[in-house]
Amino acid sequence: MERLRGLNVLIVAIIVILGGAEGQLVENFYGFTCPNVEFIVQQAVSIKFSQTFVTIPATLRLFFHDCFVEGCDASVMIASPNGDAEKDSKDNLSLAGDGFDTVVKAKQAVEAQCPGVVSCADILAIATRDVVVLAGGPSYNVELGRRDGLISQASRVAGKLPEPDFNLIQLNTMFASHNLSQFDMIALSGAHTLGFSHCDRFANRLYSFTPSNPVDPSLDPEYAKELKDMCPQNVDPSIAINMDPATPRTFDNEYYKNLVKGKGLFTSDQVLFTDESSQGTVSDFANNAFDFNGAFVTAMRKLGRVGVKTGNQGEIRLDCTRFNS
């Protein structure tokens, strides 16, 4: 036992010394310094989930938005009195507050037992895995050792996140810039089996797609009618629509079954099935939940390595919403 503990300390020390290298993360990074961290976070997430289901899609989306801008470094958590932090950008204004609150609550619980040890970035990564599990999705081991970033600016967000009207080339180009393949991108898109969107994000598909086709012809006609009923023109922009009309509160492969039926909410969803080069993967995931779950786990672990800060890069924030200095 002592040899194992000594080895663990040595591994952590080597990682801290090496720092710098992207993806330099390990499972059980806090095995010696905060051995119960994953249990503490899981308990905090469960409590938050018992208060509102929004905890699940909000936390999952928060992780994605964080990783794609400055890397997985919790820069999206920073609150600025001037309204110019990453979370204040137009593309992040729709992030639900329950995701932020989940991480803040988990951080407070961790700080109570392991002060100044665990980064907000790692807590967000753990919490994301936990909400996937709470929704019925696959569990997976989370690699840890991230530091919290020192940059959070609204001006650096534009063009870093996929848009709802992206085509396959645009999606692949953006994901490839983070070392994520088309296969990874399609698997990560499965997170749209949870959560909701606002009418203005897809209204063009219902009313102004093209001059000759006001309604996007790739939409199932019955689904298009349902969406029009829920999202009439000039609707209140705060009205939210489930991304998955079939099982919106369950992490499953229904998202891909919806695409096969022409029931993808965004153009960037439906294109995964209408484009021949990605159609096969969508069909496989629609028919085989095991394949989807495996691909999703692999892609989430790869996503969690994007742009990470390690070693002497970044800091361990004491409050996830503020830089230490």
Structure confidence at residue 195 (pLDDT): 92
Residue 14 has pLDDT above 70, yes or no: no
Q: What is the mean pLDDT of residues 304-311?
A: 96
| Token pair recorded at residue 169 | 């080339």
The whole-model pTM stands at 0.92
Are 145 and 72 in contact, with CB atoms under 8 Å apart?
Answer: no
Give strand ranges (E) for 144-278. Answer: 196-198, 240-242
Q: Determine the Cα–Cα distance for residues 165 and 185; give it in Å rounded to an integer.
A: 15
Pick the residue with more confidence: 183 or 1? 183
Q: What is the mean pLDDT of residues 302-321?
A: 97
Q: What are the pLDDT digits (tens) for 197-234?
A: 999 999 999 999 999 999 999 999 999 999 999 999 98
Is 162 annotated in a binding site? The answer is: yes
Neighbours of 240 (CB within 10 A): 15
pLDDT band at 19 (very low <50, low <70, confident <90, very high): very low
Pick the residue with more confidence: 239 or 134? 134
For a pLDDT cut of 70, what percent of the chain falls above it? 93
pLDDT band at 7 (very low <50, low <70, confident <90, very high): very low
Are 86 and 69 in contact, with CB atoms under 8 Å apart?
Answer: yes
Is 86 annotated in a binding site? The answer is: yes
Structure confidence at residue 201 (pLDDT): 92
Is 192 annotated in a binding site? The answer is: yes
Q: What are the pLDDT digits (tens) for 227-274?
A: 999 999 988 878 899 999 999 999 999 999 999 999 999 999 999 999
Residue 6 has pLDDT above 70, yes or no: no
Are 76 and 152 in contact, with CB atoms under 8 Å apart?
Answer: yes
Is 244 annotated in a binding site? The answer is: yes
Neighbours of 178 (CB within 10 A): 17
Q: Which helix (H) or strand (E) holds 123?
A: helix 120-134
Structure confidence at residue 310 (pLDDT): 95
Name the average pLDDT for the chain.
Answer: 93
Is 19 annotated in a binding site? The answer is: no
Is 247 annotated in a binding site? The answer is: yes
Query: Catalytic one among 12, 30, 45, 65?
Result: 65
Q: Residue 17's Cα: distance from chain center in Å? A: 29
Q: What is the mean pLDDT of residues 157-175?
A: 97
Which DSSP letter does residue 305 get? T
Q: Determine the Cα–Cα distance for residues 126 and 325; give it in Å rounded to an integer.
A: 25
Q: Determine the Cα–Cα distance for residues 122 and 101; give it in Å rounded to an integer.
A: 15
Q: Determine the Cα–Cα distance for residues 117 and 40; give it in Å rounded to an integer.
A: 13
Q: Determine the Cα–Cα distance for residues 35 and 305; give it in Å rounded to an integer.
A: 21
In 3-state terms, what secondary structure has residue 49?
Answer: helix
Q: How far is CA 234 from CA 136, 199, 211, 228, 298, in A?
A: 36, 10, 19, 11, 41
| Contacts for 79-86: CB closer than 8 Å, 24+ residues apart | 79/321, 79/322, 80/152, 83/154, 84/153, 84/154, 84/155, 85/152, 85/153, 85/154, 86/152, 86/153, 86/154, 86/156, 86/157
Residue 3 has pLDDT above 60, yes or no: no
Q: Is 65 noted as a catalytic residue in this protein?
A: yes
Structure confidence at residue 237 (pLDDT): 78
Residue 9 has pLDDT above 80, yes or no: no
Q: Determine the Cα–Cα distance for residues 86 and 79; give it in Å rounded to an integer.
A: 8
pLDDT band at 24 (very low <50, low <70, confident <90, very high): confident
Structure confidence at residue 170 (pLDDT): 98
Residue 2 has pLDDT above 70, yes or no: no
Residue 99 has pLDDT above 50, yes or no: yes
Amino acid type, 63? F
Residue 73 has pLDDT above 70, yes or no: yes
Q: Residue 153's Cα: distance from chain center in Å? A: 19
